[in-house]
Structure 1
Amino acid sequence: MEYSLSSSVNINNRLVTVSSSSPSPAKNHHRLNGSLRSPFSISGLSLPKRCRSRVAVACAIDFSSGGSSYCEFSSLNTPIEPGTPAGRFLSSVLLNERKSFHDAVAETLEKLVADVDEAYARRALTADSSESALHRRIAELKEQECKSSVEDVMYMLIFYKFSELKVHLVPPLSKCIYNNRLEILPSKDWELESIHSFEILEMIREYLTFAIGWRSDFSVTESWATTKIKHANLCQIYTASILFGYFLKSTTLRHRLEMSLVDPIDDMIMNSYQCRRKNLVFGHTHNKIPTSPFDGTKEREKLISYLTGFTPDSLAKCAQPNSKEALNLVTKHSFALFGDVESEKMISTSFATLKRLVLEAIAFGSFLWDTEEYVKTVYNLEEIN
């Protein structure tokens, strides 16, 4: 059994719009202007222009190099190799002294803040001297160096969250390609789905149907049936899925916060939670917000109904990373995973592998939101205007 997918996610206009020139195995498609659109299609969710061009270059796999017959998973075989002393230090701590990882992250962030503050203090002290230009340049270089270090710290925090689930990030896909076929085992679908609520999982399943043609009623044979997809489209889907995961986490917490504001008990719990979270680095829970058992007669608004009330500007704000460091991380991760060679070649794979990649990307986006929220309580991330 073989299907040919030419689907692509249009991240310029709609995050979960899927264009297709041939029938997919999904049933009951919703058509709009010749495209397939999910009930959860949302206008305004897109990568900023400066990132979009970089991702386009990153969306390719070098099929000529062959590769191994299986993905070479290992404890720290991540697509991005930490390039800063801070990143290499944390990767060593995570590998050899896992129990000290939280303290190491906190100390590293505090040191980066101190380094930047010291450089700018020296610049201020020498503002009227002959060395002002030198110290201004030193301060700029130190700030840039610290930004790169912070991105490595954020990446290691995301990797830590995956390791808590006992899920390894998929390594560069060149290590997973054999005779132009990509397969990823073990799938780890259950672990990747376990971080989401039931309502979010329903939205994700709809997203999977319209992004890659996967259906929840697939048999084992259908899940592992051979399908084809352009590697550039696969990169687009993966990157868009990161933003979709970021969007889901952002709007879910916003929804819970707004629902809590009409319930004094929930409001008290939420305020307590937000005060505590500033002192946490990522515990063993999945960042679940406690809710009050005393709901009274107030009817809780469903998340999907809540989202329909968003304006396009609000949707775009929730879907795009708030900081340039987080945005850079999305681009760098996609680049490292898919390579840098432009090509129109097709990749043979299965719906099970496509689902694995999408679930990983959604989890990555969710963890990116957590990481960004934590880091900015210590380090001043550069906001996107």
Structure 2
Amino acid sequence: MNELNQILRRIAEVKEKDRRNTLEEIIYCLVVWKFVENDISMIPKITETKDPIGRVDFWPNQEQKLESIHSTEAFEMIQSHLSLVLGERVVGPLETCVQISKIKLGKLYAASIMYGYFLKRVDQRFQLERTMKTLPERFGKDQDRFEEPSPANRLWDPDSLIRVPPDDDGGDSDGDGKLYRLRSYVMYLDADTLQRYATIRSKEAISLIEKQTQALFGKPDIKIADDGSIDMSNDEVISITFSGLTMLVLEAVAFGSFLWDAESYVESKYHFVKS
């Protein structure tokens, strides 16, 4: 009987793996279709070669297309994200080259996918509440400070370069004289809600983020040294312009946004997201 139970458990594990693989393929196809639908060419594998085919800098500039897929309010927050990544160069000479570790670049890309996923999720709620005219009358005004989600799954960790900067006096009017801004709305949300919105909902989506990042940057060559420290001496250094870096981040944010849409669509047809 014990042997039979082990066999049945093994069959269940195999079926679960097949199910997940199928769901991942469907979600990924939907994400890629969104890029095709918006006439956006996805960036190929990033290499350290000087061959133009392997450098994002030499690909057609698609910033306008990558910007147009977001709402005005969401793109305002994306610009803040870019400012954190590029610093003063976001308004400076974008053709200046920077040397950056491939592992660090991959981490930035993955974090930007997560940011795009979060941003699309919270922007949908914001746009719905604004359409329904149910936005709080003074959101962002009565909250003294913004508390980040817990370290276990937070989006704004120091490594990711993802923050929500304090709001200023600007904003968008709803036509009745009330100023509304997505950044203010995010600051208004309580820590538990932010934690939920910043969490990738399914294992399939997490796996796709990993696979997409590895497709561009390869698997990180990380080893543990004898003294217990992390040895990244084999890590490649990539030379990239700030213009290319901007394109890379914008694609990652778009991928995250499309990933949320694709995951939600598949979930509406076949319930696989665990609450």
Under a length normalisation based on structure 1, what TM-score does the superposition of the two structures give?
Answer: 0.52
1:172 is matched with: 45
**CA displacement at 1:245 relative to structure 2:** 0.6
Q: Which runs of 5+ in 2 are unaligned?
A: 135-173, 222-233
Contact 2:35-2:41 within 8 A present in 1 as well: yes
Deviations 1:294-322 (A, max 9, x none): x6747353211111112333223212211
2:127 is matched with: 256
Q: In percent, how many aligned pairs have the same letter? A: 37
Q: 1:346 aligned to 2:210?
A: no
Contact 1:247-1:319 within 8 A present in 2 as well: yes
TM-aligned CA distance change 1:136 to 1:229, over 3 Å: closer
Contact 2:103-2:220 within 8 A present in 1 as well: no
Q: 1:315 aligned to 2:211?
A: no
**CA displacement at 1:235 relative to structure 2:** 0.9
Among 85, 93, 97, the alignment partner of 1:211 is: 85
Comparing 225-234 with 130-139, which one deviates more in the overlay? 130-139
2:69 is matched with: 195
Contact 1:214-1:355 within 8 A present in 2 as well: no
Q: Which amino acid counterpart does residue 339 of structure 1 have in structure 2?
A: G
Q: Distance in 2 between matches of 1:214 and 1:321?
A: 31
Q: Distance in 2 between matches of 1:319 and 1:345?
A: 30
RMSD: 2.7
Q: Distance in 2 between matches of 1:361 and 1:214?
A: 21
2:27 is matched with: 154
Q: Distance in 1 between matches of 2:118 and 2:88?
A: 21
Q: Which amino acid counterpart does residue 142 of structure 1 have in structure 2?
A: K
SS of the residue aligned with 2:98?
strand
**CA displacement at 1:131 relative to structure 2:** 6.3
Q: 1:365 aligned to 2:236?
A: no
Q: 1:302 aligned to 2:173?
A: no
Comparing 142-151 with 341-350, which one deviates more in the overlay? 341-350
Under a length normalisation based on structure 2, what TM-score does the superposition of the two structures give?
Answer: 0.72
Deviations 1:82-103 (A, max 9, x none): xxxxxxxxxxxxxxxxxxxxxx
1:46 is matched with: none
- Which one scores higher on RCO, CA 8 angstroms, separation ≥ 6? 2
Aligned residue-pair number: 221
TM-aligned CA distance change 1:262 to 1:364, over 3 Å: same
SS of the residue aligned with 1:170?
coil
Q: 1:331 aligned to 2:218?
A: no
1:102-181 equivalent positions in 2, closer than 5 A: 134-174=7-47, 177-178=49-50
Contact 1:246-1:320 within 8 A present in 2 as well: no
Q: Which amino acid counterpart does residue 66 of structure 2 have in structure 1?
A: L
**CA displacement at 1:216 relative to structure 2:** 4.7
Deviations 1:213-246 (A, max 9, x none): 364533xxx2112221122211111111101111
**CA displacement at 1:354 relative to structure 2:** 0.3
1:39-58 equivalent positions in 2, closer than 5 A: none
Q: 1:239 aligned to 2:126?
A: no
Deviations 1:313-371 (A, max 9, x none): 32232122111111111111112211124234422110011001000000000000001
2:227 is matched with: none
Q: Which runs of 5+ in 1 are unaligned?
A: 1-127, 264-294
Q: Distance in 1 between matches of 2:176 and 2:246?
A: 39
SS of the residue aligned with 2:239?
strand
1:62-73 equivalent positions in 2, closer than 5 A: none
TM-aligned CA distance change 1:314 to 1:184, over 3 Å: farther
1:74-89 equivalent positions in 2, closer than 5 A: none
Deviations 1:240-261 (A, max 9, x none): 1101111110111111233344
Q: Distance in 2 between matches of 1:217 and 1:255?
A: 29
Q: Distance in 2 between matches of 1:257 and 1:330?
A: 27
Q: Which amino acid counterpart does residue 243 of structure 1 have in structure 2?
A: M
Contact 2:82-2:90 within 8 A present in 1 as well: no
Deviations 1:111-139 (A, max 9, x none): xxxxxxxxxxxxxxxxx9x9666455333
